[in-house]
Structure 1
Amino acid sequence: MDFAFTDEQQMIRDSAETFLKATSTSAAVRAAMSTELGYDAELWQRLCGELYWQAIHIPETYGGLGLSYVEVVALFEQMGRFLLCAPYFSTVALATNALLCAGSEAQKADYLGRICAGSTATLAFTRSRDWSVEGVSADFQRRGDEVVLNGEYRYVIDGHSAEFLILAAREQGCDQPSGIRLFVVTAEQAGLERQVLPTMDQTRRQANISLNNLCVPASAELEHGDWQALEKTLQLATIALAAEQAGAMQQLLDMTVAYTQERHQFNRPIASFQAIKHKAADMMLRSEVARSAIYYAACTADTALGDGNAFGADLAEAASIAKSWCSESCFSNAAEALQMHGGVGFTWEYDVHLYFKRAKASEHLLGDSSWHRENIAAMLLD
């Protein structure tokens, strides 16, 4: 594939870099980490009101910009570079994609319209860190015109603050993928409890969601919300997460090169040492390969989103290739950066430890490298 940004895509990428460099500074990230919400609400409103990033790939029919998944990945890459603390991943990569894949026209108009207006949302589907169909353990029963949901979800990104949630549940007594359905609910409904989880990565909040006889109208069920739609949503989110990792890898390289040029030993900058040069070259190689993987996956995702019936292996393969490489490589770059910074790398004053923690948390979110390599192997055997 011969890939190159269009002028418009390059402009979006450059403007995102400029904006985030000014607003998602080290001080801003640390301030957001210390708040109960986990992000700056004013900055979120700027992202939504001034830049309209939350509507980047929502079709114009529903009030969005109608751009491609390449633009989405370009934004996530820059957000990963600057560790943006915002409910963007949960709202755009998870909830918006779930609605695009599973919602009826009326449901899309309603809930995508809310997202365009600045509402936050997320997706909850597992409690065991099992990212496959077996991970859906919450159940539901139909009672006339209502549906009753029970169960528990963990690792719900921004689940403590989302204004509405999309919940995956399995029909009671059915252990097949055909029994899985998606439901959209508001956070204030009786029977839904939320609790913030303590996490290693303080730049991205996770929550525990408990459902205790949560009654919702039958209209809360997403019209096309089956396992195929959920799987496609997770694959799209996986690509976005890999793009974040690719951005973090580049930033780790940049900050490490800058530090090694300033740090002197034996009356010379340590960047001149051959061993340091080799480590930096390896970091750059990982970053370049990651960028190729995520933009190939973005083009594949764009094709899949353009065809509402596209649930083929191409998207799954591209997502797993991108995530398997980026998960391992991002953590490797973070570990190298930590070593090359020496003893100060894990001190609070330097940002390397923030990227290190994000790299480890993102490595396991939506499947680690081994999990995705197994997926690829299974696809090759089919």
Structure 2
Amino acid sequence: MRLTQEQEELRSAVRSLLAQYQDKDAWSPLTTQIGAAGLAVPEKYGGAGGGARDVHVLMEELGRSLSPLPCLGSAVLTVGALLASGDNEACGRLLPGLAEGASVGTLAWAEQGSWDQEAIRAEAVPGPGGSRLITGTKEHVLDRSGVDGVDVLVVAARTARGVSLFEVAPDAAGVRREPVVTMDETRAQARWVLDGAEGRLLGVEGDGGRYLEHVRDLACTALAAEQVGAAERCLELTVEYARNRVQFGRPIGSFQAVKHRLADAYVLVESARSAALGAAFAADEDPGALPRAAAVAKSVCSEAFSAVAGETIQLHGGIGITWEHDAHRYFKRAHGAGELFGPPAHHRARLAAGLGLAAR
């Protein structure tokens, strides 16, 4: 599995731009100069017409810098949900703005701490003019850090025919957004409360569960790439410290015990990279293999990132939480990302179910 020269050039361009701008200030140049928000959007809707491997490159670089930009929520979840719905009218109206970065979207999906469609309790009942009135509370909704609100809100809710997706105006009557305090301050989240909010059906009523399954696979694939990038950066910081930190008259990296731990971390990073790339290649070339590949990637990359982030803290002398160093930020991102879209055990259970085995 190899990336193309164009994708490596994309990596270089994204890394260079992120080095020039801080935090949310990078959103405009990243979207206008590189087209990051529209990498997976078809050309007919104003995007680059790329695929999961292009998104993989972007997410790896965002992970390295712990970027708070809303690419996962907007360019992956929202774009993926609209495309999965096959709603040509909604795609033609909403995707150009999302691809340009002029608008930012989010997918309100999880309830009761779960992304499984069985956990969805929000209800959509018939409303005026063919609309639906949605009532329910959505948790762990990826938010736009440092900016009030989002522009496109897609909500999963139940109708008489099953789980369906709806477009809801973020500022509509009966819609309330509640920012929440997260352990990982680099990934903003919000709770959305809907009380009879008017929504427009996206795609086919009752097919929302199928759309969400596909979106979850794309989200796990993109998040796995982000985890790889962050874990790789953790390892780089730790290797640099081990070379420069002198104890007992020699760099600590020269001690065999430290070498072994760094070697183990390297193996974890490279194994995670293979799993993440495998999912991205499956998304582009073998969609039938994507559910399994995405579950593998989410499980492997979550655990690898957590382990490497923990070693970063330990091999920096147990630095813990101090604002003078980013080690704790990576550790918090590792913990938060590991739970996002379901913890590793959940995805291993998915794999076991697919293989007809009992989950372990």
Shorter-normalised TM range:
over 0.9
Paired position in structure 2 for 1:146: 131
CA-based RMSD: 1.5
Question: How much identity, in percent, do the aligned residues show?
Answer: 37
The answer to whether the aligner puts 1:164 opposite 2:152 as a matched pair is yes
Shift of 1:221: 0.8
Indicate the SS of the match to 1:327: helix
How far apart are the structure 2 equivalents of 1:126 and 1:57? 23
How far apart are the structure 2 equivalents of 1:7 and 1:228? 34
1:165-215 deviations in Å (ceiling 9; x for gaps): 1100011xx5xxx50000012211111000100100000111010001112
The answer to whether the aligner puts 1:264 opposite 2:246 as a matched pair is yes
Of 201, 206, 210, which aligns to 2:193? 210
Please tell me whether the aligned partners of residues 126 and 137 of structure 1 are also in contact (alpha carbons under 8 angstroms): no
Q: Which runs of 5+ in 2 are unaligned?
A: none
Paired position in structure 1 for 2:35: 52
How far apart are the structure 1 equivalents of 2:70 and 2:106? 8
How far apart are the structure 2 equivalents of 1:11 and 1:111? 29
Shift of 1:345: 4.2
Paired position in structure 2 for 1:329: 304
Paired position in structure 2 for 1:182: 165
- Worse-superposed segment, 4-13 or 275-284: 4-13
Shift of 1:59: 0.6
Please tell me whether the aligned partners of residues 45 and 92 of structure 2 are also in contact (alpha carbons under 8 angstroms): yes
Paired position in structure 2 for 1:200: 183
Paired position in structure 1 for 2:121: 137
Q: Which runs of 5+ in 1 are unaligned?
A: 30-39, 305-309
1:49-76 deviations in Å (ceiling 9; x for gaps): 2221101111101111101210111110
Map 1:111-122 → 2, pairs under 5 A:
111-118=94-101, 119-122=103-106
Shift of 1:263: 0.8
The one-letter code of the counterpart of 1:324 is S
Shift of 1:230: 1.1
Please tell me whether the aligned partners of residues 221 and 298 of structure 2 are also in contact (alpha carbons under 8 angstroms): yes
The one-letter code of the counterpart of 2:57 is A
Map 1:240-319 → 2, pairs under 5 A:
240-303=222-285, 312=288, 314-319=289-294
The one-letter code of the counterpart of 1:272 is S
- Worse-superposed segment, 117-126 or 343-352: 343-352
Please tell me whether the aligned partners of residues 52 and 222 of structure 2 are also in contact (alpha carbons under 8 angstroms): no
Count of residue correspondences = 350
How far apart are the structure 2 equivalents of 1:74 and 1:117? 19
TM score, norm. by length of structure 2: 0.94
Map 1:103-114 → 2, pairs under 5 A:
103-114=86-97
Paired position in structure 2 for 1:368: 343
Indicate the SS of the match to 1:344: coil
Please tell me whether the aligned partners of residues 35 and 100 of structure 2 are also in contact (alpha carbons under 8 angstroms): no
Paired position in structure 2 for 1:65: 48
Paired position in structure 2 for 1:223: 203
Paired position in structure 2 for 1:33: none
Paired position in structure 2 for 1:34: none
TM score, norm. by length of structure 1: 0.88
The one-letter code of the counterpart of 1:46 is P
Residues 167 and 194 from structure 1, CA distance in 2 versus in 1: closer, same or farther, beyond 3 angstroms? same
The one-letter code of the counterpart of 2:125 is Q
The one-letter code of the counterpart of 1:169 is A
The one-letter code of the counterpart of 1:283 is A
Paired position in structure 2 for 1:14: 12
Indicate the SS of the match to 2:325: coil
The one-letter code of the counterpart of 2:42 is P
How far apart are the structure 2 equivalents of 1:317 and 1:185? 32
Indicate the SS of the match to 1:199: coil
Indicate the SS of the match to 2:196: strand
Please tell me whether the aligned partners of residues 31 and 37 of structure 2 are also in contact (alpha carbons under 8 angstroms): yes
Q: List structure 1 segments (4+ residues) > 4 angstroms apart after TM superposition.
A: none
